[in-house]
Structure 1
């Protein structure tokens, strides 16, 4: 069995418009990265995770869940989201033990990338509905906007929250198209989080938008282990 790369876990905060942390996303930083906390090593591009084998990704996910169990046992009371893909979803279906562990984590949210549903057909819908049945963790849709997203996938009502992709926000965030999209998304889910917030100007821009929260390098992340030490 393959072993996951040595890593550290960080919690990246999501802030609401009042300046309160309303959730955190669990992210992985590999120990051989030069910048662990707020900056990504250029070699760890967006495709790195997808290049890992299914077994390595599964072992990494299991490690994340064990860490979250420890975190919540320490009294942590905020929502934490974790990214999953097709390989991880398929393994969840087959593993009663992990389903039982996920059932303990009432504050957990599973983030499904829009790349999972790039063509979004009936098979995708059945898979996602199946996930909702075997784990109580509500589903969040990640990366909305990079060309792989469509509003039809939201009509099913299975996504609690939608996260708007950084590149989409940077390109369209100051235009009317963005505001119209927010209106549609809010009709189809319980709220929108905008990713890629890195400057005070972007915070100010979003301060009057119809969003639930903001996420990005403008705010400092924290090590998960700092909460459970």
Structure 2
């Protein structure tokens, strides 16, 4: 699958309230759905990653890591998060070769969706803690919001950053519930990134919030290939 040119890699920026670029998220898109101008596409919500069989997801992950090793060897000096699920995390835990590759990537962050941890249990916790021991890449939690929230998982202290689901932000971002959630999350991790930021009004709203960063279609993505020499 990964030897065929049926996907492209995009880097979506994460900005601090100050406007500083603080991180990127590596996204995978079909070539005809890779709009770097970030116009919202409802069909994109299904995601490239979630459509793939487990073996193809693993091969895609290996391909992503290979590209990031190349990028960082060329001198790139910013944090990049890569999406993983329970299968990928388990694969990392069992694969010494990929652990050695990840050891080269001190600026890499492994981003796991709250969707995949909605039924979080003690076995998942052991696997995640195991990955934290065998690789320097901290774990980030994506899509935190209604339906996929698991405070037991957050209480474990294994997540460096939590990303708040865009739908939750759009619905509750200007209310007390959102502020209360931020206060609680900041006690359980090192910072919160809010997804779904699309205009200056939302930026102005978040400028008064206790957050680490903002991410969304307000900022232009770049092709990974444009950064490779």
Q: Normalising by structure 2, what TM-score?
A: 0.94
User: Could you tell me which residue of structure 1 aligns to residue 56 of structure 2?
Assistant: 56
Asked if the contact 2:2/2:60 (under 8 Å) is kept, the reply is: no
RMSD value over aligned CA atoms? Answer: 1.8
d(CA) in 1 for partners of 2:111 and 2:79? Answer: 12
d(CA) in 1 for partners of 2:4 and 2:118? Answer: 27
Cα pair distance change 1:101/1:44, threshold 3 Å: same
How is 1:93-112 mapped onto 2 (pairs within 5 angstroms)?
Answer: 93-112=93-112
Secondary structure (helix, strand or coil) at the match of 1:137 reads: coil
Per-residue deviation, residues 180-203 of structure 1 (Å, max 9, x unmatched):
110000011000000000011100
d(CA) in 1 for partners of 2:41 and 2:175? Answer: 31
Cα pair distance change 1:202/1:106, threshold 3 Å: same
Secondary structure (helix, strand or coil) at the match of 2:152 reads: helix
Asked if the contact 1:144/1:162 (under 8 Å) is kept, the reply is: yes
Per-residue deviation, residues 81-124 of structure 1 (Å, max 9, x unmatched):
00000121122122211110000000000001111210222112
Structure with the largest fraction of helix: 2
Query: How many equivalent pairs are there?
Result: 229
How is 1:38-187 mapped onto 2 (pairs within 5 angstroms)?
Answer: 38-39=38-39, 42-46=42-46, 48-187=48-187
Which segment drifts farther, 104-113 or 120-129? 120-129
Asked if the contact 2:8/2:34 (under 8 Å) is kept, the reply is: no
Residue ranges of structure 1 left out of the alignment (5+ in a row):
none
Per-residue deviation, residues 150-174 of structure 1 (Å, max 9, x unmatched):
2221111110000000000001000
Cα pair distance change 1:40/1:99, threshold 3 Å: farther
1:221 matched to 2:225? no
Cα pair distance change 1:187/1:228, threshold 3 Å: same
Secondary structure (helix, strand or coil) at the match of 1:101 reads: helix
Cα pair distance change 1:17/1:33, threshold 3 Å: closer
d(CA) in 2 for partners of 1:28 and 1:104? Answer: 22
d(CA) in 2 for partners of 1:215 and 1:27? Answer: 13
Which segment drifts farther, 31-40 or 147-156? 31-40
- Report the Cα offset of residue 44 of structure 1: 3.8
Per-residue deviation, residues 50-90 of structure 1 (Å, max 9, x unmatched):
22111111111111001101110111100000000012112
d(CA) in 1 for partners of 2:34 and 2:111? Answer: 26
Q: Normalising by structure 1, what TM-score?
A: 0.94
